[in-house]
């Protein structure tokens, strides 16, 4: 069983749409949670950390549900530049990071 | 400029020929780690290091070695590469302050093909 599961997509949406990604994790002792963005053939870059209280950064909102072991990312008013693969990442015991296989987003004009 | 630098970026080699992928960071980070990325599997941790001379296995350490003799460098060694080690490799670093955001800083990746 994978530590972190994500829908691979692709999600094909028009500009301006709202899109939501979800992921689940298996280790209830996981401590920190993140969304990373990866452009084609490039290195992953941190998009945002995810907190139990929910957090927002501009058009991006992340939520964590520890009871259900579920993480979400909501993107509002999608831009062409949002096209990328979004990686759900879980940190366990500070040293170990587990990555989902990513959800691909294509934003169309 | 703060960065993580990997070399080589691209390499084609043959089975059994020892190779080293270098990783260097200029951010004075204590923590460094190596990942491999394969289609459908996401990034998987190979080894990590909490500080100089402190290394530990990740989830897929078989066939790899690492060393951490200096804080800035964390080379990945493939003593006898095999075709199943064909992959995209990323090195990453982060500070060890547990109060930080958890951001991993990645190198640009090294695409390795073993024939």
pLDDT tens per residue, range B32-84: 999 999 988 889 999 999 999 999 999 999 999 999 999 999 999 999 999 99
Query: Is a pLDDT exceeding 60 seen at residue B98?
Result: no
A41/B43 CB distance under 8 A: no
Contact A34, A44 (CB under 8 A): no
What is the model's pLDDT at position A27?
A: 87
- Minimal Cα–Cα distance from B79 to chain A, Å? 24
Mean pLDDT score of chain B, rounded to an integer? 93
Average pLDDT on A47-68 reads 93
- Minimal Cα–Cα distance from B41 to chain A, Å? 5
Stronger pLDDT, B16 or B96, i.e. the higher one? B16
A44/B106 CB distance under 8 A: yes
- Distance of alpha carbon A30 from its chain centroid, rounded? 16
What is the model's pLDDT at position A61?
A: 97
User: Quick one: pLDDT band at residue A93, thresholds 50, 70, 90?
Assistant: confident
What is the model's pLDDT at position B61?
A: 97
Query: Is a pLDDT exceeding 80 seen at residue B99?
Result: no
Mean pLDDT score of chain A, rounded to an integer? 93
Residue of B90, B87, B77, B75 whose CA lies nearest to B113: B87
A49/B33 CB distance under 8 A: no
Dist. CA A2–CA B47, nearest whole Å: 18
Name every residue in A having a CB less than 8 A away from some CB of B: 2, 4, 8, 32, 34, 36, 41-46, 49, 87, 91, 94-102
> Among partner residues B35, B98, B106, which is closest to A94 by beta-carbon distance?
B98
Backbone angles phi, psi at B84, to 5 degrees: -75, 0
Average pLDDT on A30-55 reads 91
Stronger pLDDT, A44 or B100, i.e. the higher one? A44
What is the model's pLDDT at position A96?
A: 87
B31/A34 CB distance under 8 A: no
């Amino acid at each position: 069983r994978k530590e972190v599961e994500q829908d691979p997509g692709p999600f094909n949406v028009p500009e301006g749409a709202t899109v939501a990604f979800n992921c689940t994790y298996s280790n209830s002792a996981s401590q920190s949670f993140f969304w990373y963005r990866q452009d084609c053939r490039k290195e992953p870059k941190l998009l945002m950390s995810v907190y139990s209280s929910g957090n927002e950064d501009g058009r991006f909102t992340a939520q964590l549900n520890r009871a259900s072991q579920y993480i979400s990312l909501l993107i509002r008013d999608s831009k062409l530049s949002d096209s990328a693969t979004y990686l759900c990442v879980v940190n366990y015991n500070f040293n170990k990071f587990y990555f989902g296989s990513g959800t691909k987003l294509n934003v169309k004009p | 400029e703060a960065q993580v630098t990997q070399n080589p970026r691209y390499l084609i080699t043959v089975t059994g020929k020892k190779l080293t992928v270098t990783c260097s960071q200029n951010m004075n980070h204590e923590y460094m780690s190596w990942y491999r990325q394969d289609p459908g599997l996401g990034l998987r941790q190979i080894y990590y290091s909490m500080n100089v001379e402190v290394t530990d296995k990740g989830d897929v350490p078989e066939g790899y070695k690492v060393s951490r003799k200096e804080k800035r460098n964390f080379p990945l060694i493939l003593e006898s590469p095999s075709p199943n080690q064909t992959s995209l490799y990323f090195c990453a670093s982060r500070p060890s302050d547990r109060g930080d955001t958890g951001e991993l800083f990645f190198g640009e990746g090294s695409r390795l093909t073993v024939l």
